Structure 1
Amino acid sequence: MYDICTIGPISNDTIINADTTRCLPGGTAYYVANALQQFPLRQQVITVLEASDHALVEPMRVAGIDVHILPSHHTVSFENKYSADQSDPEQRVRHQSSPFSLEHMPALTTKLVHLGPLLSQDIPLALLETLAQTNRISLDIQGYLRDVRNHKVVYRDWAAKKQALPLVNILKANEMEMGVLTGQKSPREGALYLADMGVEEVVITLGKKGSLVYSNGTFHTVRAFSPTAVVDTTGCGDTYMAGYLAQRVQGVDIPQAAEFGAAMASLKVSTFGPFCGPPEMVESRLNE
């Protein structure tokens, strides 16, 4: 049995900063899986890729990650252009991948499924409903709020949320995504809204203000950790969730798991690409 199975497209990303341009794999499945590989957990990744891009996952396989590829007409491709302070990237979509197909999905035996759609069409509601029948579901809401218009990402509310959210055990959103999804300005009001919709654990990341987790009638306020340098913020939310979920599936309580995720995300900001440090590095950060 796997501890965590992450399902989502792996992307071909172009990251443009003030002084550098880099082409890197990306997407929730990529950042979460690489970060989780540092833990004593069994994990699986299910993704979609164009046949000519299968080499994108070879380093993951060499590292020991079990990657299952579903067919796609294209590999999703983003261009993220960042300002000097790494905030609010200008994002363009060059190509969209094919949706995940229920008929091509392998059988799952896992403690937790983490869904990481990058665009609204990636993981159909029917697949979510099927997965939820036999699995605990964690969801990064980001992709379900993203439409593509003239190659640009446009955020809008999730039309299927009334049917889908009661199926989700753990939901992660950043502050902006929370507002789009709930119509609330306050993270606490947004968390209550999502809990009322049926989500058991609501995780809202707030950047420099830390994060907030709501579960079973209790708010957990989590501090932020200042990075030593701001090099690349792409994948920071995914890194937070990798740390959080790694701790939760091992039985760690919510406050400790959220602090671990926050510390891990602060370390990722200082480097390009996914977090690849050992858990001891995160523990050291927690104790600073």
Structure 2
Amino acid sequence: DERQLQLQSQAPPISLKDVSNSLRARIIHVAPITNELSYDVIGKLRTMTDALSLDPQGFVREFDQKGNVHLKRWTDTHVLELIDLYKSSLNEIKMVTGLTDLKLAMKKIQNYGARIVVVTKGTEGSTLLFEGTFYEVLACKPRVIRDFTGAGDAYIGAFLAEFIQEKDPVWCSCVGSAVASFVVESVGPAVFGETKEIYKRAAGIYEKGLERLE
């Protein structure tokens, strides 16, 4: 489920003046695409929300002359001290931490201050760390797989929608998995699933039991 990405055109960086001083939100999710967000901008967003979530995808990308995307190490990790929730893919967390052992990498992220760490692994599900415990969350099975694009974004969007309602983070992960499974059934962000359908798929993996790892 690895994609080949190519940059066609790069937008300018997002500046402090681009962020409205009147912005207030219960949760803000930061998900750079091409390293367009600075520490100062993210720091400003931190003051405007109760919880700050990060997907570091844009910080671990570099582009060759043809615009092809490759992963790189991200060493300027001060941003991790600002966040409450972290979500990335398995390959991305390796680039952020420099560690290949998943549990050690997730613990390293949490040591910066994040209360919840989520790593998505495509068809192998996701791993969740909170309150010192690891959980293996199954991937919901889609009817058909047409395009993986946007699955990770759909996952964290659904996760956060449940999280702001103070739901159990394990349940939040199951809902994230369910929404992602609907997204991959079509090309592009065309299908997200109805609420009833989403909860049915989420309950299916929640009720099967989750592997708890000490």
- Whether the TM-score (by the shorter chain) exceeds 0.5 is yes
The aligned counterpart of 1:226 is: 141
**2:182–2:192 Cα contact (<8 Å) kept:** no
Whether 1:156 aligns to 2:72 is yes
Query: Is 1:167 aligned to residue 85 of structure 2?
Result: no
Distance in 1 separating the partners of 2:54 and 2:89: 12
Tell me if structure 1 keeps the 8 A contact 2:154–2:183.
yes
In the TM superposition, 1:127-166 aligns within 5 A as 127-135=41-49, 136-150=51-65, 151-161=67-77, 163-166=78-81
Where in structure 1 are there 5+ consecutive unaligned residues? 1-86
Distance 2:156 2:202 in 1: 16
- Cα 1:160–1:220 change in 2 (3 A) is same
Q: Structure 2 CA distance, aligned partners of 1:200 and 1:273? A: 31
1:278 corresponds to 2:194 = yes
1:116 positional shift: 1.4
Partner of 2:208 in structure 1? Answer: none
Q: Quick one: distance in 1 between partners of 2:192 and 2:124?
A: 25
Contact 1:264/1:282 (<8 A) preserved? yes
Equivalent residue number for residue 98 of structure 2: 183
Q: Identical aligned pairs, as a percentage?
A: 27
Q: 1:267–1:276: structure 2 CA closer, same or farther, 3 Å change rule?
A: closer
Q: Could you report, residue by residue, the CA deviation over 1:98-123 in whole angstroms, capped at 9, with x for unpaired residues? A: 11111122121110111111012x11
Q: Distance in 1 between matches of 2:162 and 2:54?
A: 16
Instruction: Return the alpha-carbon distance in structure 2 between the equivalents of residues 96 and 196 of structure 1.
Output: 33
2:180 is aligned, of 245, 259, 265, to 265
Distance 2:4 2:180 in 1: 21
TM-score (norm 2): 0.88
Corresponding residue for 2:120? Answer: 205
- Tell me: CA distance 1:264–1:233, structure 2 relative to 1, closer, same or farther (3 Å): same
| Contact 2:62/2:70 (8 A) holds in 1 | yes
Letter aligned with residue 252 of structure 1 = K
Q: Which residue of 2 aligns with 1:248?
A: 163
Structure 2, gaps ≥5 residues long: 205-214
In the alignment, the residues of structure 2 paired with residue 97 and residue 213 of structure 1 have an alpha-carbon distance, to the nearest angstrom, of 33
DSSP-derived class of the 1:123 partner: coil
Over residues 260-280 of structure 1, what are the superposed CA-to-partner deviations in whole Å (9 max), with x where a residue is unaligned? Answer: 111111111111222432211
Query: Which of the two has greater strand per residue?
Result: 1
Q: Following the alignment from structure 1 to structure 2, what is the Cα–Cα distance between the partners of residues 119 and 144?
A: 7
